[in-house]
């Protein structure tokens, strides 16, 4: 579950109400089934403004292997949520690459998150379907030591977020960054996946990573090298597709491939300018000689405009109707004119053909000649019974004149 899916009130992530209630009911039912088992309790102390990382693996859940030896290759998944809520607090995230990899709870608490928070973690053994749970008590307090007003954020494109959360890669990153930021002790303040910042999921090609943002803080000012990287000249070169200005040796390479065009520096020793609070006025505009709105509107009669708008289209439609009626009704030639324009010989020829045709039809209907065999029914359509022809085909002449 990612930070985008988190839904919970009172400092938890926001989301859809029905889905939250459904998930809450599922988790309450699952915890009710685990109520007979005693939950392990671990107390942790995150610090405000410092990155917090907690690893979830078989070492943190020894109850998974109390009765049976669980090999390290067994797939195990975890689910963490705030006690009484189905999701994590807004400052805490959870990630796990696959059931064969450990899970991580990480994040940076804010001053509003001070106090006590209880996180319940459920572990699932995907082979034996064993389930156990653990309770993490987080006592969030203020850090000790000097403040870290100088903060720099780097985009590391050669790693995923779960690859820099363990202590060994994080220490290696700080050691390599010390070559660029020599004075002062460096501390990691926040770790964020590039996907949470709007990055795209990389193609499934070997060597492609999601990317991770690492924010580092120090009590010492930035080095000249970092200032040059974040200068306007470097940003202009990056906008043109060229590498930024880097006056020192890149000590992070080749273990960490940093996108130097996405380096941001924040100096909290410089006070931020206060926002100008607008003062409410009396609502009357000041006198402007170039804007002189009219004070009075002259009366206007809209009757003429209404008549023109309605009568002109009606008049046009009436004229078109009359024109169409004249063409269809008054311009017809008629049958008399057609007959007068036809010659007498053609009319006599036409009448003769028509009279002969009618006479042949009458003779054909009154003749007493047997029907052709091809038209006689050979079987009954309803019963399917075959009937022999009623007329002897040998006695029917092929030509009627021979009869």
> The domain 145-271: what is its CATH number?
3.30.70
> The domain 38-144: what is its CATH number?
2.60.40.10
Average pLDDT over residues 171-186: 84
Average pLDDT over residues 129-148: 89
Tokens representing 68? 């049976």
Kind plus residue range of the DSSP H or E element containing 235: helix 232-239
Average pLDDT over residues 320-336: 82
Using CA atoms, how far apart are residues 266 and 245, in angstroms rounded to an integer? 19
Residue 374 has pLDDT above 60, yes or no: no
Lowest mean pLDDT among 21-25, 56-60, 379-383: 21-25
Q: How confident is the model at residue 152 (pLDDT cuts 50, 70, 90)?
A: very high
Residue 401 has pLDDT above 50, yes or no: no
One-letter-per-residue 3-state SS of 298-332: CCCCCHHHHHHHHHHHHHHHHHHHHHHHHHHHHCC
Question: Greatest CA span in the chain, whole angstroms?
Answer: 136
pLDDT of residue 2: 37
Residue 389 has pLDDT above 90, yes or no: no
pLDDT of residue 241: 86
Residue 215 has pLDDT above 90, yes or no: yes
Query: Is the Cβ–Cβ distance between 179 and 200 less than 8 Å?
Result: no
What is the rounded average pLDDT for all residues in the chain? 79
The domain limits of the chain are 38-144, 145-271
Total number of residues shown for the chain: 403
pLDDT of residue 212: 93
Q: How confident is the model at residue 13 (pLDDT cuts 50, 70, 90)?
A: very low
3-state secondary structure of 47: strand
pTM of the model: 0.58
Percentage of the chain surpassing pLDDT 90? 29
pLDDT of residue 115: 93
Average pLDDT over residues 203-232: 88
Average pLDDT over residues 333-341: 74
pLDDT of residue 33: 46
pLDDT of residue 5: 39
Average pLDDT over residues 205-225: 88
Q: Tens digits of per-residue pLDDT, 239-298?
A: 898 888 887 888 888 889 999 998 999 888 877 777 777 777 777 667 777 777 777 778
One-letter-per-residue 3-state SS of 328-345: HHHCCCCHHHHHHHCCHH
CA angle 18, 19, 20 (to 5 degrees): 90
Among 189, 193, 3, which Cα is nearest to 88's?
3
Residue 119 has pLDDT above 80, yes or no: yes
Average pLDDT over residues 58-72: 65
pLDDT of residue 315: 95
pLDDT of residue 80: 93
Burial label for 12, CB within 10 Å (0-12, 13-18, 19+), is: buried
pLDDT of residue 14: 40
**Bridge pairing between strands 131-140 and 40-44:** parallel
Q: Where are the alpha helices (DSSP H) in 113-187?
A: 161-164, 167-177
Measured over the CA atoms of residue 159, residue 161, residue 163 and residue 168, the dihedral's sign is positive
Among 266, 6, 65, which Cα is nearest to 148's?
266
Average pLDDT over residues 220-239: 88
Among 84, 76, 86, which Cα is nearest to 131's?
76
Residue 325 has pLDDT above 50, yes or no: yes
Residue 379 has pLDDT above 70, yes or no: no
DSSP state letter for 105: E
If one compares 154 and 378, the residue with the highest pLDDT of the two is: 154
């Amino acid at each position: 579950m990612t930070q985008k899916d988190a839904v919970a009130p009172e400092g938890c992530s926001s989301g859809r109400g029905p889905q939250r209630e459904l998930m809450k009911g599922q988790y309450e039912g699952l915890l009710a089934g685990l109520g007979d088992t005693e939950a392990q309790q671990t107390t942790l102390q995150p610090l405000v403004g410092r990155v917090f990382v907690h690893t979830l693996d078989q070492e943190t859940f020894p109850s998974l292997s109390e009765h049976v030896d669980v090999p390290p290759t067994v797939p195990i998944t975890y689910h963490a949520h705030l006690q009484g809520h189905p999701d994590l607090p807004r400052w805490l995230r959870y990630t796990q690459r696959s059931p064969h990899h450990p899970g991580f709870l990480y994040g940076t608490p804010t001053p509003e998150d001070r106090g006590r928070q209880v996180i319940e973690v459920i572990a699932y053994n995907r082979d034996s379907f064993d389930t156990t749970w653990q309770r993490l008590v987080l006592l969030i307090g203020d850090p000790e030591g000097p403040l870290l007003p100088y903060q720099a954020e780097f985009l590391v494109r050669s790693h995923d977020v779960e690859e820099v959360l363990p202590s060994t890669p994080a220490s290696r990153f700080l050691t390599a960054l010390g070559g660029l930021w020599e004075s002062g002790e460096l501390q990691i303040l926040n770790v964020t996946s590039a996907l949470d910042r709007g990055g795209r999921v990389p193609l499934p090609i070997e060597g492609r990573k999601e990317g991770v943002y690492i924010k580092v803080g120090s009590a010492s000012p930035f080095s000249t090298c970092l200032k040059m990287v974040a200068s306007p000249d470097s940003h202009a070169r990056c906008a043109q597709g060229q590498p930024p200005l880097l006056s020192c040796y890149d000590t992070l390479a080749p273990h960490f491939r940093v996108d130097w065009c996405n380096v941001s520096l924040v100096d909290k020793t410089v006070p931020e300018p206060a926002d100008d609070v607008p003062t409410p006025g009396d609502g009357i505009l000041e006198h402007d000689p170039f804007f002189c709105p009219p004070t009075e509107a002259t009366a206007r009669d809209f009757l003429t405009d209404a008549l023109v708008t309605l009568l002109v289209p009606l008049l046009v439609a009436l004229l078109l109707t009359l024109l169409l009626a004249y063409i269809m009704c008054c311009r017809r030639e008629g049958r008399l004119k057609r007959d007068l324009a036809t010659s007498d010989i053609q009319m006599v020829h036409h009448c003769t053909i028509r009279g002969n045709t009618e006479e042949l039809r009458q003779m054909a209907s009154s003749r007493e000649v047997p029907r052709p065999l091809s038209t006689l029914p050979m079987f009954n359509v309803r019963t399917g019974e075959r009937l022999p022809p009623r007329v002897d085909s040998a006695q029917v002449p092929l030509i009627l004149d021979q009869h």
